[in-house]
Amino acid sequence: MPVLVFRPEDNGGYRLAVSDSRPTPAQVALKVLSRARARGLGEVLATGIARIREFISSSDELIILARPATGAPPDRDDLEFVKATTEDGARYARDIGTDSASTFASRLSDTTHCFLVIDEGRVLHATWATTRSAWTRELGGYLIAPEGDCYVYESFTRADARGRGAYPFGLKGISAWAATRGLKHVWIGVEAGNAASLRAVGKAGFEPRLTISFRRNVGRLEVTGGRCPPDRIETLCLRSSG
């Protein structure tokens, strides 16, 4: 039988139903410190250098994919799928490292959720999902989920867990969770150059819907496509505010 854990939806300790907002400078500092502890100073320095190069000159495309919010939980005996609570902050910081325990807890709300793939108490993979919107650094704005849908983002699999199918396992679990919430579609964005992630989301049943192009030239950001319409939102789209 599959191991699938949906914790109670009483939202104890959650904040208001808000967007997953752009982090403050203080939150960024805590995130960087947590990343250094979990992944090492070398990884943090490499990320910083990559961000500087990106700032000077870079271009890419974000492929937006979607799938219906349907399906049964994935059948795996060796992995556990968990909807995280504020109590998971410490092990998220230890095993994933992109948030400290406090910044992790502050992001959770009635509309922003984190899902974990666990093996014997260790977090192998983490993915965030929102039914509202989430700050997207690469695009300099918020990606907005259509009403009744959810948007999946900020997915990470530990290097020592890659090749085990944790990412598509987690995505199928999120789709099953979304179905229990009465949601219609699950959206996700993957950079065009990330072949491994594109394969993983394809295995989870996602299909391409649109593309958003972006480029930077000495810090100036230009984004093409994907802007939210002034009226009804029917696909994942970009807006300057959440």
The neighbour count for residue 15, using CB atoms within 10 Å, is 15
Is the confidence at residue 61, as pLDDT, over 80?
Answer: yes
**211-221 pLDDT, tens digit each:** 999 999 999 99
Regarding predicted confidence, which is higher, 118 or 6?
Answer: 118
End-to-end CA gap in the chain: 40
DSSP 86: G
| pLDDT for the residue numbered 74 | 80
Tell if the pTM clears 0.85, that is, is over it: yes
**156-184 pLDDT, tens digit each:** 999 999 999 999 999 999 999 999 999 99
Please give the backbone phi and psi of residue 175, each rounded to the nearest 5 degrees, phi first: -60, -40
Which pair of structure tokens corresponds to residue 37?
């502890």
| pLDDT for the residue numbered 75 | 78
Which pair of structure tokens corresponds to residue 190?
């993957």
Which pair of structure tokens corresponds to residue 51?
């961000």
Domains and CATH numbers, the chain: 3-9+22-239 (3.40.630.30)
| pLDDT for the residue numbered 242 | 83
Q: What is the mean pLDDT of residues 95-122?
A: 96
| pLDDT for the residue numbered 8 | 41
Burial of residue 16 (CB within 10 Å: 0-12, 13-18, 19+) is exposed
